[in-house]
A and B are shown apart, each in its own frame.
Chain A
Amino acid sequence: GQSLEQPSEVTAVEGAIVQINCTYQTSGFYGLSWYQQHDGGAPTFLSYNALDGLEETGRFSSFLSRSDSYGYLLLQELQMKDSASYFCAVRADQAGTALIFGKGTTLSVSS
């Protein structure tokens, strides 16, 4: 089967750094994406890694290690508005027609 594992909840304080891990077991692998979803809202795209290494976009960075079937999302200088759910998603087929999503990590940022 196909599975993506990520922690269900993470808590942190404003200004801190938090890392959300994602390990995957899929029939194929062509890339790892991260999406953010605020309560009651729609998921929005954050980042994408197709190759090993770190991608940085402002306060957010995403890392991928294909040999370990592992990636993470790093959020720095946390703000209250970062409280949301974060989903990793694997592009498991070459055609890219079906993203497989993890169950999501709820991040709570407190002051």
Chain B
Amino acid sequence: NAGVTQTPKFQVLKTGQSMTLQCAQDMNHEYMSWYRQDPGMGLRLIHYSVGAGITDQGEVPNGYNVSRSTTEDFPLRLLSAAPSQTSVYFCASSYTTGDNSPLHFGNGTRLTVT
């Protein structure tokens, strides 16, 4: 049982490049989400999904796309990277969205955009 797996761990992009951050979970969780963490800013929700085929925007969705074709996978796409997207990205999942269904986080992807 690997939990939530994120790849890559580190990435450097040039402005304007695109890339996909991968996230997979093997816990049969319905809910998956992407957060970004910047110094002094806490965790901010980018996009989330409550099941395969269903996605929605969070607090800071601009510049990012997601899809959920399977229960297990929830990739995050950066369409045209900008220096403002330099951040640590965490994927998180939970069994449901109900009471006391805690989020399980991946180990993060540290992205630098130059």
B residues in contact with A98, CB < 8 Å: 45, 48, 58-59
A residues in contact with B43, CB < 8 Å: 43, 87, 89, 101
Interface membership of chain B positions 34-70, coded 1 if the CB is closer than 8 angstroms to chain A and 0 otherwise:
0100001111110010100000101100000000000
Provide the bound-state CA to CA distance between A45 and B92, in Å.
Answer: 11
Q: Which of B56-114 contact A (CB under 8 A)?
A: 56, 58-59, 90, 92, 96-108
Query: Count of chain B residues with Cβ under 8 Å from any Cβ of A?
Result: 28
Q: Is A102 an interface residue (CB 8 A)?
A: yes
Minimal beta-carbon separation of B10 from chain A (angstroms): 12
Interface membership of chain A positions 1-39, coded 1 if the CB is closer than 8 angstroms to chain B and 0 otherwise:
000100010000000000000000000001101010000
A residues in contact with B44, CB < 8 Å: 101
Query: Count of chain A residues with Cβ under 8 Å from any Cβ of B?
Result: 25
B residues in contact with A42, CB < 8 Å: 90, 105-108
Contact B50 A97 (CB under 8 A): yes
B102 nearest in chain A by CB position: A45
Contact B98 A96 (CB under 8 A): yes
Minimal beta-carbon separation of B11 from chain A (angstroms): 16
Most chain A beta-carbon neighbours within 10 Å: one of B59, B104, B105: B105
B residues in contact with A31, CB < 8 Å: 99-100
Contact A33 B102 (CB under 8 A): yes
A51 nearest in chain B by CB position: B99
Q: Is A48 an interface residue (CB 8 A)?
A: yes
Contact A48 B108 (CB under 8 A): no
Query: Which 4 residue pairs across A and B have the least CB separation, nearest first?
Result: A96-B97, A45-B102, A42-B105, A103-B42
What would 16 A/B residue contacts be, using CB atoms closer than 8 Å?
A33-B102, A41-B107, A42-B90, A42-B108, A43-B103, A44-B105, A48-B99, A87-B43, A96-B98, A97-B31, A97-B56, A98-B58, A100-B59, A101-B35, A103-B40, A103-B41
Binding site for A on B (CB under 8 A): 31, 35, 40-45, 48, 50, 56, 58-59, 90, 92, 96-108
